Amino acid sequence: MATKERMSSRELGLVLAQQLLDVEDLHYGLWDPDLPLSLGNIALAQQRYTEMLLAQVDMLLADRPAPRILDVGCGTGHMLQLLVERGYAVDAVNPSAQLNRQVRARLAGMTPTDSTLFASDFGSLPLASCRHRYDLLLFSESFQYIPLAEIFENSPVLLKPGGWLLVCDFFKTSAHCDGAEGDRSFSGGHLLRSFYEQLSTAPFTLCHDEDLTPRISPNIALLDEWLTQRLLPASRSIDQYLRSSYPYLTRLVKWLSRHKLARLRYKYLSGHRNQAIFEKYKSYRLLVLQLDQQP
């Protein structure tokens, strides 16, 4: 699929999060006990996450000559830039037109690199020309957006023998769809069980599998607080203004979009998007997979 100009609701969520929180990254942060949980520390928590991933990349590629990385779902291109600055050759694939504008601006501001930005879904990469091109595929919170079948079919083609998949993302736990309170408040993520099942028949070895959920989930508490303490009162004020200024039009628009509004209210403003619900229904993992030498 070519670059999307029409923005999906998921993409809108990412772009809004970046704009409202004024951050360069679109991933969660790592919150360890020494870092006070506050909005002001989000960028620092994200930096810790980034440094953790960069250290993984350095370790995995230490013995490889002139390694090339593919940053899958590169967001604003921040990680791409840091990797290039570390001396890696890096390409990126990203379907979001809005984010790709930021990535291109970032690339243009850097000393010339041979980075290619593929403005497409991971599943639409030109496999023939990228065959065995990469030492490492990085999925920083992009794994959940890509069908597992696509990942396990395309990655062995893209990677050099013995190459790495480095994944940092959340998955659905087996509690998913149990119908209890808060079930499906957080969308996204592959079922962890399905991931392991599909991995068992793929030409990869799981070398590292770490549960980062407790270090990531404080982020949820923070965002929940922001949504309920800031966004909710702000949306009530706007609603009040619209109802008093344009009563008929407001009622009509609200009635027409009532189902969507109810879904959004449940998802974002009902208080179900909290840390405990996240920890029950999601498992945030750092995964390192190595492609067999002879896939």
Ligand X SMILES: C[S@@+](CC[C@H](N)C(=O)[O-])C[C@H]1O[C@@H](n2cnc3c(N)ncnc32)[C@H](O)[C@@H]1O
Residue 227 or 232: the one with the smaller Cβ distance to ligand X is 227
Q: Which of 31, 88, 145, 278 binds ligand X (CB under 6 A)?
A: 145
Binding of residue 91 to ligand X (CB under 6 A): no
Residue 135 near ligand X by CB under 6 A = no
Of 68, 108, 97, 82, whose CA–CA distance to 25 is shortest? Answer: 82
**Binding status of residue 215 toward ligand X by CB under 6 A:** no
d(CA 204, CA 154): 13
Q: CB 239 → ligand X: shortest distance, Å?
A: 29
* Residue 93 interacts with ligand X (CB under 6 A): yes or no: yes
Q: What is the DSSP string of 225-266?
A: HHIIIIIHHHHHHHHHHHHHHSHHHHHHHHHHTHHHHHHHII
Q: Are strands 282-291 and 204-211 parallel, antiparallel or unpaired?
A: antiparallel
The answer to whether residue 158 forms part of the interface with ligand X (CB under 6 A) is: no
- Single out the segment in contact with ligand X by CB under 6 A; choices: 139-147, 171-179, 200-208, 216-224: 139-147
Contact 186, 277 (CB under 8 A): yes
Based on the shown chain and the rule CB under 6 A, indicate whether residue 75 belongs to the binding site for ligand X.
yes
Does position 26 interact with ligand X (CB under 6 A)? The reply is yes
Q: How far apart are CA 111 and CA 84, in angstroms?
A: 10
Q: At CA 264, angle to CA 259 and CA 270, rounded to 5? A: 115
Shortest Cβ 6–ligand X spacing (Å): 13
Q: Residue 227 carries which side chain, given as an amino acid letter? A: L
Shorter beta-carbon distance to ligand X: residue 102 or 274: 102
If one asks whether residue 94 binds ligand X (CB under 6 A), the answer comes out as yes
- Round to whole Å and give the CA distance between 29 and 41: 9
Q: Which stretch binds ligand X (CB under 6 A): 142-150, 177-185, 245-253, 269-277?
A: 142-150
**Residue 222 engages ligand X in binding (rule: CB under 6 A):** no
Contact residue for ligand X among 56, 142, 217, 290 (CB under 6 A): 142
- Residue count of the chain, please give it: 295
- Binding site residues, ligand X, CB under 6 A: 14, 25-27, 72-75, 79, 93-96, 99, 121-122, 140-142, 145-146
